[in-house]
Structure 1
Amino acid sequence: MLLVQLAHLAGGPYACDVHLVEPRRAPGPGLAYSARRPEYLLNVRTPFLSAFPDQPNHFTQWLHTIDAPPCEEQFCSRQLYGRYLHALVAAVLAAPAANGLRFFWHHDSAVRCTVAADGQSATVQLAGGAALPSQQVVLALGNFPPLPPTGPDHAYLTHPTYHGNPWAKGALRNIAPADSVLLIGSGLTAVDVLLGLDADGHTGPVTVVSRNGRWPAEHGPAGLSYPSFYAEELAGLTTVGAVLAAVRRRIRQTTGQGIDWRPVLDSLRPDLGRIWAAWPRAEQARFLRHLASIWSVQRHRSPPQNQAAVLGLLAAGIVRMQLGRVRQIVPRGEDLAVQVQKHGQPQWLTTRHVITCTGPLLDYSRITDPLVVSLRDAGQLVPDALQLGIQTDAHGALLDAQGRASAVLFTLGPSRRPAYFESTAVPELRQQAVALAQWLGQTLSGH
């Protein structure tokens, strides 16, 4: 997104080169949109997925240019959206932009970033040996795989039927149709895994272990909207309880009038960052402890066809929900024994496969990626206290160990959750990309 926004940056000419470091074979789709599985659907409708905030129909128009089949109920496949992003990036890489910027793709991984002593430049070291001297470095790292769900005994991590990252290349392909499967988590990742297993013809029993027993809510009908009530009822509220009470009160009023609750919540989307920022850290921590999981399943919803598929698997007895928390995983021959604890009572389940569906690792103090480690060890990258991402200023510049904003290092996307909490979906990411491109553009003329 940032690459594309830089290419469309007004002004110039900019006598500057932009280097994209991306180890995947196709730049653009990233992790979320690379899987070649048409059953994995976007959980946002097509009209809201343009890469350009000022061109809301851009993605829809692109679909017409490739003569794509109509997306069922306007929920396209992630694979198709990956093609869209790849097409945008390929166009940028093909020739210099009208503003003079030149773009280069390095099919490699960044393993180290060293900031110069004066703090005005940095050198990025690539795994293949090349070095990229840079005036600005943007960490657009996306999401990292989840941590092992249990410990301290990690013998199960090397077991052939443990799947710690369902998004890894070839994941789940060694699951036979009749094999028993246990999923840890019941969010959107678990839904995708169930759809993938079903598409592969899997008929064996699937147990879903969930702490709260909730599936993602289903999207409502298209075209519904509701006016924002942030300024009227939420502005200035500094506690989770006050915000929750106000939102519940408004939903009770609207449902009594026959208005669906979903657009009422969605009306607050532009203001979620301001609501989050108004809470002191103690209140933010309270929200994470008590409400974050409930918010996640209400806010990040599932397409109706996905919901129907999951309900069908539950009704057929193929999938069952098990309330509790996974405490241990122990190899037992070809199988895995899983200890599930609910209200202090442990129960052992035996299954052939275990798949971790708990979502990405957000805590940058525990990420072992060598690029992250190099910046963290140097005090240039500071994880936030709530373990949500990286400490930054208002423009996405990294704050160092002394709280000083970097002139060189920037980030966007999930790493900025400490500032916004909601920082993972396309509407938020594209706006961050526009803002960061404009901020960087103010310094490009000098280089």
Structure 2
Amino acid sequence: MLLVQLAHLRGGPHPIDVHLVEPRPAPGPGLAYSARRPEYLLNVRTPALSAFPGDPDHFTNWVATTELPACAQQFCSRQIYGRYLQELVSTVLAQPAMNGMRFFWYQDAAVAATVAPDKYSATVQLASGHALRTDQVVLALGNFAPLPPTGPAQAYLHHPTYHGNPWAKGALRGIAPEHSVLLIGSGLTAVDVLLGLAADGHTGPVTVVSRNGRWPAEHGPITTGYPSFYATELAGLTTVGAVLRAVRGRVRAAARQGIDWRPVLDSLRPDLGRIWAAWPLAEQARFLRHLASIWSVVRHRSPPQNQAAVQAMLDAGIVRMQLGRVRQLVPQGEDLAVQIEKRGYQHWLTARHVITCTGPLLDYRRIDDPLVIGLREAGQLVPDPLGLGMLTDSHGALLDKEQQVSPVFFTLGPSRRPAYFESTAVPELRQQALALAQWLAEMSDSQKRLSS
């Protein structure tokens, strides 16, 4: 997304070389949109998915001009969106942009980044041995695979029927239709896995272990927007309780007028970052402990057809929900024994396959990627105390261990959750990408003026 925004910046000329380091065979789709499974649907309607904030119909128009299948109820497949992003990126890589920028792709992985002695440039080391000297480095790292669900005994990690990353290529292969399956987590990832199993003709029993026993809320019908009440009722509130009381009051008032709760919550979207930033660290931690899981259920919703498919599996008895949390996983021949705890009581289940669906790892204190480790140990990358991402300034520049703003290292996307909390969906990502593209171009132009 950042690459595309850089290429479409107006003004200039900007004689900037942009180097994209991406080891996957096709840059653009990334992890989320590369799965070749049409049953995996986007959980946002098509009109909200344009890559360009100033051209909201771009994706909708692109879909209309392709020969791809129509998007049912305005929910396209992730595969289609991946093709859209891949096409945008390939167009950028094909030739210099009108604004003077040139783009180069390295099908490689970055393993280290070191700052020059002058502290105003860096060298990025690639796995192939190639090195790139650059003025700025943007860590557009996306999401990392979830942590192992239990420890310290982790022999199960090497068991052939434990699936620690449901997004890994071929993750569901080897699951026979009659095999028993246990999913850890009941969010959007679990829904996708259930849809994938159903598409593969799975008929064996599936147990979903969930701490809260909730599926993602279903998207409602398209309605007119609800008026924002941030300025009149939420601005300046510094506790979770005060915000919760105000929002609940609005939801109740809307219900009395026959208005669904969904547009009320959706009206908060432009201001979620300001609401989050107004809370001191202790209140942010309180939200994460008590409300984050419920917020995820109502905020990150599932397409109606997905909910119908899951309900059909529940009604048929193929899928059942089990409240509790997984405490142990122990190999037992071809199977895995799973210890589940609920309110202090433990019991065991056995399943042929166990799939972790708990969502991505965002805690940069625990990420073991070599690039991240090197920057963290050098004090260039500082994880936030709540385990949500990296510490940055308002432009996405990393703060180092001395709390100094880096002129070299930047980031965007999920790594900026400490600043916004909501930093994973396309509407937020494209706006971050545009703002960062503009800032990087301004920095480059300023440096060139100073040196001339």
**Residue in 1 aligned with 2:120?**
120
- Alignment partner, residue 377 of structure 1: 377
Aligned residue runs from structure 1 range 340-355, under 5 A? 340-355=340-355
Deviation at 1:70, TM superposition (A): 1.6
Per-residue deviation, 1:57: 0.2
Q: Answer yes or no: is the 8 Å Cα contact 2:209–2:326 preserved in 1.
A: yes
What is the rounded CA distance, in whole Å, between the counterparts of 1:224 and 1:125 in structure 2?
A: 50
Q: Which residue of 2 aligns with 1:84?
A: 84
Q: In the alignment, what sits opposite 1:186?
A: 186
DSSP-derived class of the 2:415 partner? helix
- Aligned partners of 2:50 and 2:301: how far apart in 1? 19
User: What is the CA-CA distance between 1:246 and the residue it aligns to?
Assistant: 0.2
Question: 2-side partners of 1:114 and 1:18: how far apart?
Answer: 18
The one-letter amino acid of 2:323's match is: L
1:98 maps to 98
TM-score, normalization: structure 1?
0.99
* Structure 2 segments unaligned to the other structure (5+ residues): none
1:337 Cα deviation (Å)? 0.1
Q: Distance in 2 between matches of 1:190 and 1:339?
A: 19
Indicate yes or no: 2:283 matched with 1:283: yes
Aligned to 2:147: 147
The one-letter code sitting in structure 2 at the alignment partner of 1:146 is P
Determine the C-alpha separation between the residues in 1 that align with 2:256 and 2:222: 21
The separation in 1 between residues aligned to 2:337 and 2:223, in whole angstroms, is 47
In structure 1, the partner of 2:177 is 177
- Shift in Å at residue 15 of structure 1? 1.9
Match of 1:207 in 2: 207
For structure 1, which segment, 385-394 or 57-66, has the greater mean C-alpha deviation from structure 2 after superposition?
57-66
Deviation at 1:352, TM superposition (A): 0.3
Name the counterpart of 2:406: 406
Partner of 1:324: 324
Aligned length: 447
Displacement of 1:415: 0.0
Question: By how many angstroms is 1:314 displaced?
Answer: 0.3
Q: Kindly state the Cα deviation for residue 239 of structure 1 after the two structures are TM-superposed.
A: 0.2
Aligned residues of 2:39 and 2:196 also touching (Cα < 8 A):
yes
In the alignment, what sits opposite 2:75? 75
Q: Secondary structure at the match of 1:338?
A: strand
Q: Which residue of 1 aligns with 2:246?
A: 246
What letter corresponds to residue 321 of structure 1 in structure 2?
A: M
Match of 1:217 in 2: 217
Residue 116 of structure 1, CA deviation: 1.3
Residue aligning to 1:25:
25
Q: Distance in 2 between matches of 1:64 and 1:148?
A: 42
Secondary structure of residue in 2 paired with 1:365? coil
SS at the partner of 1:104?
A: strand
Structure 2 residue 300 is the aligned partner of structure 1 residue 300: yes
Are 2:256 and 1:256 aligned? yes
CA deviation profile, 1:153-177 (whole Å, cap 9, x unmatched): 0100000000000000110111000
* Distance in 1 of aligned mates of 2:71 and 2:92: 27
**CA–CA distance in structure 1, aligned partners of residues 291 and 223 of structure 2:** 28
State the partner residue of 1:387: 387
Q: Does 1:315 align with 2:312?
A: no
- Partners of 1:220 and 1:113 in 2: how far apart? 46
Deviation, structure 1 residue 224: 3.3
Structure 1, unmatched stretches of 5+, are none
**Cα distance per residue 1:205-226 (max 9 Å; x no partner):** 0000000000000000023311
- Other-structure match for 2:267: 267
Instruction: Give the Cα separation in 2 of the matches to 1:223 and 1:288.
Output: 30
Letter matched to residue 38 of structure 1: P
TM-fit CA distance, 1:369: 0.4
* Residue type of the alignment partner of 1:323: L
Question: Aligned equivalents of 1:23 and 1:286: distance in 2?
Answer: 39
Q: Could you say what secondary structure the match of 2:178 adopts? A: coil
Three-state SS of the structure 2 residue aligned to 1:427 is helix
| Alignment-derived partner of residue 425 in structure 2 | 425
Cα distance in 1 for partners of 2:318, 2:16 equals 57
Letter in 2 for 1:106: Y
Distance 2:223 2:102 in 1: 40
How far does residue 443 in structure 1 lie from its aligned partner after superposition? 1.8
Q: Which amino acid aligns with 1:336?
A: L
Any conservation in 1 of the 2:223–2:263 contact (CA below 8 Å)? no
The one-letter amino acid of 2:419's match is: A
2: CA distance between counterparts of 1:170 and 1:34? 12
The alpha carbon displacement at 1:68 in A equals: 2.5
C-alpha offsets along residues 62-108 of structure 1, whole Å, 9 cap, x if unaligned?
A: 11221322210000000000000000000000000001100000000
Counterpart amino acid of residue 136 in structure 2:
Q
Identity among equivalent pairs (%): 78
Partner letter of residue 103 of structure 2?
F
1:356-375 correspondence to structure 2 within 5 Å: 356-375=356-375
Letter of the structure 2 residue corresponding to residue 51 of structure 1? A
User: Which amino acid is 1:215 matched to?
Assistant: W
Return the alpha-carbon distance in structure 2 between the equivalents of residues 397 and 415 of structure 1. 11
TM-score norm. by structure 2 comes to: 0.98
Deviations 1:305-348 (A, max 9, x none): 00000111000000000000100000000000000000000000
Shift of 1:117: 2.2
Letter matched to residue 258 of structure 1: G
AA aligned to 1:78 is R
Q: Aligned equivalents of 2:310 and 2:229: distance in 1? A: 34
Deviation at 1:16, TM superposition (A): 1.8
Match of 2:162 in 1: 162
Equivalent residue of 1:151, what SS? coil
- Corresponding residue of 2:47: 47
Q: d(CA) in 2 for partners of 1:15 and 1:224?
A: 44
Instruction: Note if contact 2:209-2:323 (Cα within 8 Å) is conserved in structure 1.
Output: yes
8 A Cα contact 2:45 2:75, kept in partner: yes
Amino acid at match of 1:401: K
The alpha carbon displacement at 1:10 in A equals 1.6
Within 2, Cα distance between the matches of 1:223 and 1:343?
Answer: 41
